[in-house]
Amino acid sequence: MDHRTIMDICKAHIALDLEVRKFMENVSNVKEESITDFLVWKWRELDKRFNYLRVYPFNHEVENSRTGADFDIELWLVGHRHHVVLAVQAKKFLKRTNAYVTQLRYPDNSKAQMNTLLSYASSMNRRPFYFIYSLPDSNPDVMCQRKPKILGAVFTADARRLEEYADGKYGRRVTRDQLLAATNPFYCMFCCPLSQVNNYFDRYFSYPTGTHGESSDKPLPSYVQQLLQRGDDVINIDGSEAPRQFRLIGVYDMRSDS
């Protein structure tokens, strides 16, 4: 991947992160699912390497009947030789202090949502991830050693790391900034000088045990291939091969850049 291509991809994702921040700043009390919907819509608009399909509409009654175990996005980052797959759950953490340990243990302090995410990721070879939507008023300390200068709103965290907070390893009360210290800004996935995206995940989100969410020998599912082949249209499908655990499937095509 040449330097110009890296910079173009980086700029597109910084712009996306800033769009999400603007949306959150101007739409009060917006829910996580609406932020995620805005994220994928704007992502597709700003960068045609990304495409997505909506598996089924979000419905609070459906979510409650399933104890909140459904996930937001199955995100595929597809290169020529490798692909990385994230199983993503979203959380919105705004206040500096709040009952964040309890929120991570959703619902009813059972941790059922997180456990389901971890179990699914382990069984399906996905990386279990959280997208944390937040509006810090200054650049927080994150894992990236180069403190980011862009103040966005989307932060990414490995669910296995956040499980340590949910299990009380860092106390019964943790601040927003303590949680953000376990994240990287969303756009870092595409701006990191570790050029190959799988190297980025190995550097920041590597665990001795657990799934890696990578493969080079298995064929891509048909719904991923379909998204890679589409032109300007967003696909809306019902069922088929797409996993019903997710509201959305997103595919980012890095084949020409890897």
Does the pLDDT value for residue 119 go beyond 90? Answer: yes
Residues with Cβ within 8 Å of 229's Cβ and at least 6 positions away in sequence, in order, are none
pLDDT at 192: 77
Taking the alpha carbons at both ends of the chain, their separation in whole angstroms is 6
Predicted confidence band of residue 54 (pLDDT cuts 50, 70, 90): confident
Prediction pTM value: 0.89
Does the pLDDT value for residue 232 go beyond 60? Answer: no
Does the pLDDT value for residue 82 go beyond 90? Answer: no
SS (H, E, C) the chain: CCHHHHHHHHHHHHHHHHHHHHHHHHCCCCCHHHHHHHHHHHHHHHCCCEEEEECCCCCHHHHHHCCCCCEEEEEEEECCCCEEEEEEEEEECCCCECCHHHHHCCCCCCCHHHHHHHHHHHHHCCEEEEEEECCCCCCCCCCCCCCCCCCCCEEEEEHHHHHHHHCCCCCCCCEHHHHHCCCEECCHHHHCCCCCHHHHHHHHCCCCCCCCCEECCCCCCHHHHHHHHCCCCCEECCCCCCCCCEEEEEEEECCCCC
Predicted confidence band of residue 114 (pLDDT cuts 50, 70, 90): very high
pLDDT at 238: 45
Structure token pair of residue 25 = 């700043």
The residues facing 237 across adjacent strands are none
The CB density around residue 238, as the number of other CB atoms within 10 Å, is 10
Q: Which of 162-166, 197-201, 224-228 has the lowest mean pLDDT?
A: 197-201
Does the pLDDT value for residue 124 go beyond 70? Answer: yes
Q: What percent of the chain has pLDDT over 90?
A: 59
Q: Which of 38-47, 146-155, 214-223 has the lowest mean pLDDT?
A: 214-223
- Per-chain mean pLDDT for the chain: 85
